[in-house]
Amino acid sequence: MNLKALLLAAVLAVAATTAHAADPWVGAWRASPQPLWGGDFVLPTFAPFQFQQQTIRQPMRVSLGGTRWRVVVSNAYGTTPLRIGAAGFALAGAGADVMPGSHRPVTFGSAASVEVPPGGEAVSDPVDLRVAPLARVAVSLFVPGPTAPSTFHWEARDTGHVATGQGVAETTLGGNTTPLPVRAFVSGLLVQAPPGTGSVVTLGDSITDGNGATPGTDRRWPDALAERLAPRGTAVLNAGISGARLLKDGMGTSASARLAQEVFATPGVRAVIVLLGTNDIGWAGGPFAPAEAPATLEGLVAGYRQLIERARVHGVRVIGATIPPFEGALQGTPLEGHHSPAKDRVRQAVNAWIRTSGAFDAVVDFDATLRDPAHPARLLPAFDSGDHLHPGDAGYRAMAAAVDLDTLR
């Protein structure tokens, strides 16, 4: 090879490396932060009182594959700095294990530790690890402590593990390991992807969070939607929070309050699917909000319209989802009172507006997908998880199949 050819090859190699370094970062996984509530709330947190000199290992499935990753750690609801002493990223193995040889140290500003201020978050330096689309990975955090899980995610639908001592780099966590049914501190994963790669955010409540799906199997409707979108190079970011509401705070801040962080602050978001309103309607006058006035069509419509306008300012498409039926919801439990005929009339009026108003860029009719044709106010038994409020695995897969992928462009 002559000198000119060598120089050309060198220039092309540098150009290729530079182009790769300039590739955009896109969200590949999300767990929406929630504030830890007190013991006077109707549901327990299932979170430990604190972490101290412990390693927290949390598995998750990514939507997109890639070779360079960033870990996002949140202290959104902390009142004191969150100190992470060490962190690791790896391919998930069975239980609390990671795949041998896959551990990569995670640094923040080239440092092994990071202090996240109250209300803030930290984004790690790039981590090099080849991960296939829809593969399971694990993030390990060592917390010197004592640190309360003031920023957590209640409905993990997966099992993390907590072990005594600094075990971030260990393939198998050591003794005194306990399961963790909630998520703590890790709120997102970003992947460096080719130009044109994007993501869809599913903004919702426990039906989006996956209550009723088989834990540890990635069978929520956003998971099934991610399987459909993976061949198109589009990620699905689950911004569901159990107990979430459109207009008011619930088991997390209102959708209006968290829209900017969940959608607009996330790189690569093209569209948001909005499935909210069940708890706005169901909570009032029941065990969750006994003194609250009933939700109205006018109030919910105003909330939807504001959400739509804010998304359009940011160039994000908004797909409205009709509210599934919930007759008999939580019947026979201490949480009974979620449904009434009056509440169902509001639900049906809201759904009629979603279908016919033209306010959204597109509509996905989850009500029509999930309802029992013989009794439209309730879920089809084959799709019911058993509590008459949340679908089961089959219902969630039917929801994902109902989404027209071309509306998410």
Q: From edge to edge, which strands make up the β-sheet containing 178-180?
A: 104-106, 86-91, 136-143, 54-61, 160-164, 178-180
CB 350 within 8 A of CB 287: no
pLDDT tens per residue, range 133-149: 999 999 999 999 899 99
pLDDT tens for the chain, residues 1 to 409 = 444 443 334 333 333 333 355 789 999 999 999 999 988 888 999 999 999 999 999 999 999 999 999 999 999 999 999 999 999 999 999 999 999 999 999 999 999 999 999 999 999 999 999 999 999 999 999 999 899 999 999 999 999 999 999 999 999 998 789 999 999 999 999 999 999 999 999 999 999 999 999 999 999 999 999 999 999 999 999 999 999 999 999 999 999 999 999 999 999 999 999 999 999 999 999 899 999 999 999 999 999 999 999 999 999 999 999 999 999 999 888 888 899 999 999 999 999 999 999 999 999 999 999 999 999 999 999 999 999 999 999 999 999 999 999 999 8
What does the alpha-carbon distance between residue 183 and residue 169 come to, in Å, rounded to a whole number?
20
Angle at 29 between CA 25 and CA 31, to 5 degrees: 125
pLDDT tens per residue, range 348-392: 999 999 999 999 999 999 999 999 999 999 999 999 999 999 999
In sequence order, what are the residues at sequence separation of 6 or more whose Cβ sits closer than 8 angstroms to the Cβ of residue 127?
A: 68, 69, 70, 71, 89, 104, 105, 106
Residue type present at position 352 = A
The CA-atom distances, in angstroms, between 194 and each of 21, 22, 66, 147, 378 are 10, 9, 9, 38, 44
Say which DSSP state 48 is in: -
Phi-psi category of residue 222: left, alpha or beta, with phi > 0 → left and psi -120 to 50 → alpha: alpha
Cis check for the bond before 146: say yes or no (omega within 30 of 0). Answer: yes
Say which DSSP state 11 is in: H
What does the alpha-carbon distance between residue 56 and residue 183 come to, in Å, rounded to a whole number?
9
Say which DSSP state 383 is in: G
CB 278 within 8 A of CB 330: no
In sequence order, what are the residues at sequence separation of 6 or more whose Cβ sits closer than 8 angstroms to the Cβ of residue 160?
A: 56, 57, 58, 59, 179, 180, 181, 182, 183, 184
CB 208 within 8 A of CB 202: yes
Q: Is 228 exposed, middle or buried (0-12, 13-18, 19+ CB in 10 A)?
A: middle
pTM: 0.93
CB 133 within 8 A of CB 67: no
What does the alpha-carbon distance between residue 388 and residue 381 come to, in Å, rounded to a whole number?
8
